[in-house]
């Protein structure tokens, strides 16, 4: 069973290796012998399974490599389906944290798999497809069934941004796994990419980044620089008298 972290429990049936142990053994073998050169028979021998048992449980080498990700995706999907009402952005960032925890739970396997995926184009294609599934799940949840609305657009943008932020922090850590899992950096990245558009998904208007207001002023041609400067400064800070300006509008 998936426990929400991407790890599988011990299988029944005579002490067979648990799923994550098979994956770990396979990844070590792929790294040692080369992914293309390793056969399913090799993996079965490394994991202490018969070929029949291995094929029944996984099917292909690609399935072995991404088995925990498939389980993790299903766990995230169930989490989103069961999420109560409230803050949809917080729910999605929590789901993204679950995915990150799936990698952090087995760092040795995650690092080895990361290197393999970077080296084998077919594996990169499958990883991209998995990323697209997460993004689609996040978008559907955030949009709440709406289409062609501001909320639907915000859902698309936030889902893509959350995936990008997750992958940015994750890959940085996987390149230097000797460092602690960067949870603080992960949380800052989530806040950074959801600020502003999150308000739309929470039922309010979007606000500019950092809470700043934008003032746009349009005046007829021929308006003097003094008058333009006076009106703009008054709009920006109506409580203060406008400073003196010269004939070119300079302070």
pLDDT digits (tens, 9 = 90+) for 86-126: 899 999 999 999 999 999 988 998 999 999 999 998 899 99
> Which residue do the tokens 């426990």 mark?
3
**Mean pLDDT (whole number) for 193-203:** 78
Rounded Cα gap, residues 26 and 195, in angstroms? 41
Of 49-53, 97-101, 132-136, 209-213, minimum mean pLDDT range: 209-213
Q: Is the pLDDT of residue 81 over 50?
A: yes
Tell me the average pLDDT of the chain.
80
Residues of the chain with pLDDT > 70, as a percent, come to 74
User: What's the burial of 212, exposed, middle or buried (CB within 10 Å: 0-12/13-18/19+)?
Assistant: exposed
Compute the Cα dihedral for 186, 191, 197, 198 and give only its sign. Answer: positive
**Cα–Cα dist 26/12, whole Å:** 20
Count CA within 13 A, CB hemisphere, residue 50. 3
Torsional sign, CA 180, 181, 187, 188: positive
Residues 6+ apart with CB under 8 A from 221: none
pLDDT digits 0-9 by tens, 199-210: 777 776 555 545
pLDDT of residue 19: 77
- pTM here? 0.71
CA distance 166 to 153: 20
Give Cα separations from 163 to 47, 74, 93, 96, 169 (angstroms). Answer: 33, 17, 10, 8, 10
**DSSP-based three-state secondary structure for 196:** coil
CB 29 within 8 A of CB 46: yes
Taking CA atoms, 187 is separated from 19, 88, 90, 166, 193, in Å, by 30, 16, 11, 9, 10
| Span 24-52, average pLDDT | 91
Cα separation, 244 vs 250, whole angstroms: 8
User: The tokens of 250 are what?
Assistant: 């300079």
């Amino acid at each position: 069973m998936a426990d929400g972290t991407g790890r599988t429990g011990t299988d029944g049936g005579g002490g067979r290796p648990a799923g994550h142990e098979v994956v770990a053994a396979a990844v070590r073998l792929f790294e040692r012998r080369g992914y293309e050169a390793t056969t399913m028979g090799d993996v079965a021998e490394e994991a202490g399974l018969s070929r029949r048992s291995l094929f029944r449980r996984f099917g292909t080498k690609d399935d072995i490599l991404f088995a925990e990700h498939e389980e993790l995706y299903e766990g995230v999907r169930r989490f989103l389906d069961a999420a109560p009402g409230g803050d949809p952005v917080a729910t999605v960032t929590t789901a993204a944290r679950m995915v990150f925890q799936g990698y952090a739970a087995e760092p040795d396997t995650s690092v080895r798999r990361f290197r393999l995926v970077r080296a084998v184009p077919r594996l990169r294609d499958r990883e991209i497809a998995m990323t697209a599934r997460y993004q689609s799940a996040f978008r559907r949840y955030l949009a709440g069934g709406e289409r062609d609305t501001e909320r639907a657009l915000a859902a698309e943008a936030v889902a893509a941004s959350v995936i990008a932020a997750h992958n940015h922090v994750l890959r940085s850590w996987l390149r230097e796994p000797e460092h602690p899992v960067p949870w603080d950096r992960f949380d800052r990245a989530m806040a950074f990419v959801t600020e502003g558009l999150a308000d739309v998904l929470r039922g309010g208007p979007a606000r500019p980044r950092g809470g700043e207001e934008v003032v746009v002023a349009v005046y007829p041609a021929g308006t003097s620089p003094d008058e333009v400067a006076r009106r703009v400064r008054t709009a920006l800070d109506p409580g203060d008298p406008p400073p003196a300006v010269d004939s070119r509008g300079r302070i």
